[in-house]
Amino acid sequence: MADSSWHELQAVPNPEPGRDYAIDISIPEFTCVCPRTDLPDFGTIRIHYIPGESIIELKSLKYYILNFRQMGIFQEAVTNRILDDIKAAIHPRKIEVVGDFNPRGGIKTVVTAHWPD
């Protein structure tokens, strides 16, 4: 992980663009850094979407997630950012992103953002 350059999400063509079907992706090994405490946060990112012309290329998603490993970012912000980045990369018909974070100080937080509202 010496290479600290940004990993972009890649789009690949949807094999069934004529059908409204759902893709649910779960990433249980998400980690970023809390900007207030400089300590790591851990959690699961879940992505639910109805693809349009493209789907997310999964290997690029694996590397994209690594972008956050050393980044200081709040839980509400990172969940909304992942939603925005996927929207920009593949233009889904619908998308929901859930950031389900491990408890900190006896408090557990889950952030759920979707588009369109």
Q: Is 44 within 8 Å of 28 (Cβ atoms)?
A: yes
Whether 96 and 48 have beta carbons less than 8 Å apart is answered as yes
CA atoms within a 13 Å half-sphere pointing along the CA-CB vector of 73:
19
Q: Which of 23, 67, 87, 94 binds a copy of itself (CB under 8 A)?
A: 23
Give whichever of 53 and 72 is closer to a copy of itself, judged by the CB atom: 72
> Residue 79: which of 50, 35, 106, 112 has the closest Cα?
112
Map residues 31-70 to x or -, x wherever contact with a copy of itself holds by CB under 8 A: x-x--x-xxx-x------------x--xx-xx---x--xx
Q: C-alpha dihedral over 29, 35, 39, 45, to 10 degrees?
A: -10
When binding is defined by CB under 8 A, the residue of 54, 80, 85, 94 that contacts a copy of itself is 80
Q: Which residues bind a copy of itself (CB under 8 A)?
A: 1-3, 14-16, 19-29, 31, 33, 36, 38-40, 42, 55, 58-59, 61-62, 66, 69-70, 72, 74, 76-77, 79-80, 102-115, 117
